[in-house]
Amino acid sequence: MVTMSLSSIKRCFNLEDFNSKAKAKLPSPLYHYIEGGADDEITRHRNTEAFNDYQILPRVLEDVTQINMQTTVLGCTVDWPVLLAPTGMTRFFHHHGERAVARAADKFNTLYSLSTLSTTTIEDVAAATRGPKMFQLYVLRDPAINEELIDRCRLAKYDALCLTVDTVVQGNRERDLRTGMTIPPKPTLNSLMGFAARPSWCYRYFTSPALEMANLSHHIDEGSSKVSSLGSYINGQFDRALNWRAAEQIAQRWQGPFAIKGIMTVEDARRALDIGATAVIISNHGGRQLDTVPPPSNWWLILPMP
């Protein structure tokens, strides 16, 4: 997501067009942060290849004057079966951030997912749109914070909760190491050049309200409210002891539609349903976490042998 005029967006006909625009508009460390995967990016590439390998077999001679793609997901009626996955720190990528993405989801009546690591609060997103909304929870070491986030979502009338389970530590993003990418950006020789080459992004960054982890900032100690980096926050504060019992307790506290995101095996999918999940999201986090895991569309590969 980058600042683009409407006419410029109208010239985007496919994802590759958006990708080229993003590359042209964003500082290179940010572009590579969004575009990159973990380690050798084997999984990231496999995801794209697997998606391209889908083949559609059309049935013909059907009346298509009325097309209805409406379906129900996690208790929400959506007009088409494409949902918006959670992405943290969205205002880094466009100054309108999470509110704009949530409004776009509302416009097309599909589900928006707000990340724990968002730059807009749970309440501000709820105020910006009445469309279907899911909150994506990362479990922190301090249980009081997790409980507070769940309770705030209930008060703000979120439709569903999603627990991401593939990120107890941050994936090793080699591109970020190369470009000097940190969130917030820290000036290093490499990153400075990338940012200096995109003055309009820098202008927005310095003239917009400070970027922070909006849902968590009041829990970050005074004096250290500028988190040293997203990676160090994740590796320091996310709960590595997260287990099935904790997931069950989260489902019980939420008492509503509950998805577990990052499930990759049949055994874990069954267990998720046993502890009270209403859905599983088969995902490898876009290849950004554990490299060499299979793409979601190849899930049959990991089905147990009969």
Ligand X SMILES: Cc1cc2nc3c(=O)[nH]c(=O)nc-3n(C[C@H](O)[C@H](O)[C@H](O)COP(=O)(O)O)c2cc1C
**Three-point CA angle 42, 44, 48, nearest 5°:** 115
Residue 50, H or E segment: helix 42-52
Residue 136 binds ligand X (CB under 6 A): yes
Q: Which residues does residue 88 pair with via DSSP β-bridges, in sequence order?
A: none
Site map 256..275 versus ligand X, x via CB under 6 A: -----x--------------
The span from the CA of 135 to the CA of 118, in Å, is: 10
| Residue in 28, 164, 191, 229 binding ligand X, rule: CB under 6 A | 164
* 160 near ligand X, judged by CB under 6 A: no
Binding mask 40-59 for ligand X (x = CB under 6 A): --------------------
Q: Is 87 in the site for ligand X (CB under 6 A)?
A: yes
95 is catalytic: no
Q: Determine, following the binding rule CB under 6 A, whether residue 88 of this chain makes contact with ligand X.
A: yes
If one counts every other C-beta atom within 10 angstroms of the C-beta of residue 102, the result is: 26
Compute φ and ψ for 260, nearest 5 degrees: -110, 120
d(CA 122, CA 145): 14
State yes or no: residue 215 binds ligand X (CB under 6 A).
Answer: no
Quote the tokens at residue 21.
Answer: 């625009």
Q: Which stretch binds ligand X (CB under 6 A): 21-29, 69-77, 81-89, 270-278?
A: 81-89
Q: Which residue has the tokens 């990120």?
A: 167
Residue 286: CB minimum distance to ligand X, A: 3
Please report whether residue 105 would count as binding ligand X according to CB under 6 A: no
For the chain, state the CA radius of gyration: 20
| Least distance in angstroms from the C-beta of 191 to ligand X | 17
Angstrom distance (rounded) from CA 123 to CA 215: 9
Among 150, 180, 285, 293, binds ligand X (CB under 6 A): 285
Residues that bind ligand X (CB under 6 A): 34, 85-88, 115, 117, 136, 164, 261, 283, 285-286, 288, 296
Residues annotated as part of the active site: 285
